[in-house]
A and B are shown apart, each in its own frame.
Chain A
């Protein structure tokens, strides 16, 4: 079959082409990084570079395979995904990461909780954030106090547990 002919109405799968490029890029990065390693001569044949080269070669071949599959429309049909919920949830995770060290586990995770619920269409945030903070505090109390898990504290945890900020 010749890939360039236009009597087929289906065009190459663009997203799959991007995947092929990414796989090729990872392969090249592993090759490049591994070639930069200084390996004593005695380890040249059986040293720490052997396996990375194998993996990089495999990824290179898979990139080619993905390319062929993309040109032949070999990927399964995709659902029409809505990106707004993803933005809410990823936003929640980013907010948690940024808030954690200053606001503590309950507040940061409460925000994550509320933004995730928002991603699934449940709001409004002024209601769900307090719910999330209360829920996260209960979870924090069980795991940090009861099971001695080390979880970041903030003003809220300190105030409720010790009575002072």
Chain B
């Protein structure tokens, strides 16, 4: 069957009432968490995993993908009206978008962000549908050594390539890798680093780590940071609609943003934040009136917003076809697949073809829903920004502990008659870790990706080594792996060159916090 037929069948499945409902819940939640500062799509999906345990796998995954897309839409609202990005991919949007809002052009800024996100989401999702089968065909020829090289590449791009310090990125990654060792070894049944604690035998749950680092760490950081001023929400004044001139200036930026964002997400070259930054620089150099940049240029909103949505769709290419998460949200979605006994990768397209195509098709549907949610209903979302911080973060912690208890609430520890939940203790410990990582400028995403991808990389490494009877040269035998290592090296060297050309400051803002 060709891609059109598969996608058509997926659309039929996606348009079933049940799946439409899941998509609607997903995009609504996603927009809400995208708008709210302090919580992002990764955390939301992690919190929802235990709730969806008994639900339909296809529906749950559709919901998660909707959250991911919705988060990208919602983040722009916060950037434009509050000058505080709701999620990291919208940092660049704040540069021009908030300036526009201050000039009373908040409406057109929100509109160009929403329409740009829609167009980018549409093109990039179709891109995903057409690129994925090729990657799958290609990936079937991968050996263990190639997979290991691919994971090394993902490790490098997630941790070292962007952000302000490769040292701190790699440190965050290795903390995740170290946590991934804990528990019973999958292949030999040997216990590693469990220190005699029974609860550690199953290893560290990705969801517990993610919820702790994102929810608790972020709450502690926000509470402790006295310099976090209460920013005021800009009211949407004047016309919401874009003028003819706005349209003329936006459409090129939307398309450029899309074609920058999709490959970056798809190639494992990093997250949406990187795509939006590159799109911003591209718009700056393409602009007919570059002097407007920094004073509310609409291109600087249109391009990056298209780019971050396109890259969210692009991220699904390596996730679905190779089982390779390149962002924190993708890592949690991988945990979601695993919860339902599904392993993303080339075989998923063969064994669960209807599920995969229903998922891809429902992203197209979700995109239409998001356009409706974000253009006419924008006033509703802006209200979310007025929730006072004490209640917002108290609520976030309530849900964080609820999700953790729901996933693994056994009261397995205790002194005397008092029983306590080991999982909540872990949540607290990792929460403090999350605060410290933020305080000292370490990125968060590599820790999560390291925890989930580390054991997978180890498995491939050991497979490759046992085929060669322990000779490490096997890792560099195939041309595929050599190319992947070469790309990994470029991914490290290129940012260093960019830094030397004086773009270090902006690059530094891109330390992948969340998505």
> Footprint of B on A, CB under 8 Å?
15-16, 19, 23, 26, 29-30, 33-34, 37, 39, 43, 45-48, 50-52, 55-56, 58-59, 62, 65-66, 69, 74-76, 78-83, 85-86, 88-90, 92-94, 96-98, 100-102, 105, 109, 112-114, 116-122, 132, 135-136, 139-140, 143, 147-152
Contacts and interface: CB of A to CB of B under 8 A. Distances in A.
B69 interface: no
B439 interface: yes
Interface of B: 50-51, 54, 164-165, 167, 170-171, 174, 177-178, 181, 185, 187-188, 190, 192-193, 195, 216, 219-221, 223-227, 388-391, 393-395, 397-399, 401-402, 405-406, 409, 411, 414, 418-421, 424-425, 427-428, 431-432, 435, 439-441, 454, 458, 461-462, 465-466, 469-470, 508
B215 to A, nearest CB: 11
Given A46-B462, A46-B465, A74-B165, A121 B390 contact: yes
Contact of A149 (B51, B216, B397): B51
Contacts of A30: 178, 181, 193
A146 B461 CA distance: 44
Given A93-B424, A136-B398, A52 B406 contact: no
Given A76-B441, A96-B424, A152 B409 contact: yes
Contact of A120 (B171, B390, B411, B421): B390
Contacts of B226: 79-82
5 contacts: A50-B461, A55-B178, A81-B439, A116-B394, A122-B388
A121 B394 CA distance: 12
B152 to A, nearest CB: 11
Nearest to B391: A117
Count chain A CB atoms within 10 A of each CB in B164, B406, B469 and give the residue with the most.
B406
Given A45-B470, A97-B424, A101-B418, A52 B439 contact: no
Contacts of A116: 219, 223, 390, 393-394, 397
Contacts of B192: 33-34, 37, 48, 52
Given A51-B461, A97-B420, A139-B402, A16 B185 contact: no
